Every structure is written in structure tokens, then in C-alpha cells.
Amino acid sequence: MTAYLDHAATTPMLPAALAAMTEQLAVVGNPSSLHRTGRAARRAVEESRERIARSLGARPSEVVFTSGGTESDNLAVKGTYWARRDRDPARVRLLVGATEHHAVLDCVDFLVAHEGAKVTWLECTADGVIEPATLRAAIESDPGSVALVSVMWANNEVGAVQDIRALADVAHEFEIPLHTDAVQAAGHLPVDFAACGADLMSVTAHKLGGPIGVGALVVRRGAELVPLTHGGGQERQVRSGTLDTPAIVGFAAAVVEATASMETEAARLVALRDDLIERAMAIAPDIRPSGVWHRGDGASRLPGNVHLLVPGCDGDSLLYLLDAAGVSCSTGSACQAGVPQPSHVLLAMGVAETDARGALRLTLGHTSTAADVDTFIDALPAAIERARRAREATAS
């Protein structure tokens, strides 16, 4: 028996998305061409844009197609920084959540190293939440220097959900735009671009049942952006490049299905998640979930997110041992120069480095079943025992 518990990395394509994309793959046509086949491809793109916008609470004109979340984050952060700094050279400061995905963190590091940017990292609570008062204090220290605020909607590691509306309200008091990485939130939580107050929002298809390699940056009217790519002037001159019509069609089908079934699916995943957490904690009394967790709560934590701290173990050892037992999951660590490093997310939440090294992330999705949970729970005791022996041997 095998169990795929890494849906936050990539979730299998939904049948409707696979069917829609497969059908479109058989149709020729560049949506930038003016002839009949080109116009047919353009119609498929624009109808998909309308469906995605409607599902995410946006206007079709606000949806800019990209290759995925990383490109969307880079376009939002770099494009806004350059536009705001060029108009007002004093605006060189970025206010960024300390627990962001590396698609934002590394983008910010680039701007600091090469473009004269300065960064203020927004601290979070022990549950991974950035409070509006923290953002306000960071802005008020020098409001005229801020180019952009960027805070992710739901954390990819620990599943913590931010109050984007409250954060956007604070930013807008000072006429500062806010970007949110909603890659993990879209299709899993109620995401309404118009209601949330964000000025820019990154989404991607493969986290919600669409194909890999397509996503969008939702851009509020009036937002200032400098393009990262130049060429044919597609996507309102914001993102040049031939549009991937089949992927966009599959993306739209996935968004529509994921949002339509979100309420019932969230309840199902919360039940599986809570069962997994409680049974894992019963195996070893020192195992604990990181971040906020309350049984039945699918609002303050992503419904399918399980993040466990397993003392006395290295996360990488657990991952490989579980993989050998047929369980696919992730750790809470990153590898830099070949050396595993504890998660920056957990360190920002105040987790001790020794505990952070024993983190394990398991994420459930639309194909997850109770049997997957059983497979993990059956494999966990032996994996913990061997991982602890391995760490003890290394220490000695």
C-alpha cells in the first residue's frame, strides 16, 4: 500500500481539468494570431480567463497569465518595486513576511543585493500569524520609504492562514500596495480578490488540480508594474510570451471544480487531518503539531495541512524511511550547499533549531483517503525508531 501525502507540492490533476486540457491539446492555434484558428485559440483563452476571474472574485481584465507561482511572485515584487522606486526614488523598502515562500524571499534578496532595496522582515506569532499591529509599526517607522508589502495568504509549510483583509487595510491607510501569495489558498480556502483588499495576488494551477506550468498574477486596476519580460506584448504588455492555451483551459477547469467543491472537500480533509494528527501524537507523546491546530478548524489552518515536530529525529531521515515504506511526504527543511538547514518558517515561529530539524510535512488533497492515513500511521513507529537510532549514532 502506498500513500501520496505531498499535495502541497503538487496535487494530481482533477479529471475535468485533464479532459479539458487533453481536448485542447489536439487543437492548433496561437492566440496572438489573427486568422480563424488563432481567433479560436484566443476565445478559449478569454473564456478561461473569465471563468478563473469569476471563481476568484476578480475581473477578467485583472488576470495576467504566467508560468506559475514563482513567476507571479517575481512579477509582483520586482515589478512593483521598480515601478514605485522609479516614480519616487525614496521608496526602496519592502515589508515582507518572515515566513514567505522562497519565490518571494529570494526575489527580495536579489533586489537588496542588486537594486538598492531595503527589507524589513515582518515577525510572526508562535502560530505563524502576522498581526496588523506588527505591519503598522513597520510602516510607521518610515512610511514614505515603503514600496510594497508582501504577505502570503496561507503558509506552504505549517498551513497558517493570514487575515489579508486586515493587513491590506493597514497598508492602504498609507497608500502602500499589498501583494499576497495565494498559491496554497486558492481552491482550498474562500479566496475573493475584490473582498480581500490585496492589490496583487499570485495563484498557480498545479496546487489545486490543474496542470504544472501555468498560473496567474491577479492585478488590481491602477497597480503599477514594470514587466520582467519583453516581446510580443501579450497580457496587456505586462507579461510577453505565447500563451499556453491548453494549460490555461485546464487551469480554468480546475479552478471552477475546486472552488465549487471547496466546502465539502474542506470538511472531508479536516476530518482526515485531525485523525492523522491525533493518531500520530498517540504513537509518541512528544510528537506535536506546529502552528495553530484545533480539531475541526479549517479556517485558521489549511484543511489538508499536517506539520509535525518529531523530537530526536532528523526530518530527512524520516522522509527517506517513510518513502521506503510507501509514503510520499516532505520535511520542514531546506538543503543549502548540500547541508540540510532547519526551516526558516519554524525558526521565525520561535521553534528551537534542534526541534525544527525533526519536522515532517504531510498534506492531503482530493485523492486522499482514510487508507492513506492508515498507511502513514502504520509506517511511522518504525521510521521514528530507526531515525532516532541514526541521530544517536551520528551524535556519538
Type of residue numbered 191: V
166-190 in b/e form (b: 16+ CB < 10 A) is ebbebbeeeebbbbbbbbbbbbbbe
The catalytically annotated residue of 124, 196, 313, 335 is: 335
E strands along the chain, which residues? 3-4, 63-66, 93-97, 118-122, 146-150, 178-181, 200-204, 215-219, 288-289, 305-309, 327-328, 330-331, 333-336, 339-342, 359-363
- Other beta carbons within 10 Å of 261: 15
Angle between helices 262-283 and 245-260 (to 10 degrees): 80
Cβ neighbours for 245, distance < 8 A, ≥ 6 positions apart: 24, 27, 29, 31, 41, 44, 45
CB-based burial label for 306 (10 Å; 0-12, 13-18, 19+)? buried
Question: Pairing mode, if any, of strands 305-309 and 288-289?
Answer: antiparallel
Residue 329 bears catalytic tag: no
DSSP, collapsed to helix, strand or coil, labels residue 176 as: coil
Contact assessment for residue 254 and residue 205, using Cβ atoms and an 8 Å cutoff:
yes
What's the length of the chain? 396
What is the biggest distance separating any 2 CA atoms in the chain, rounded to whole angstroms? 72
DSSP, collapsed to helix, strand or coil, labels residue 308 as: strand
Catalytic residue numbers? 335
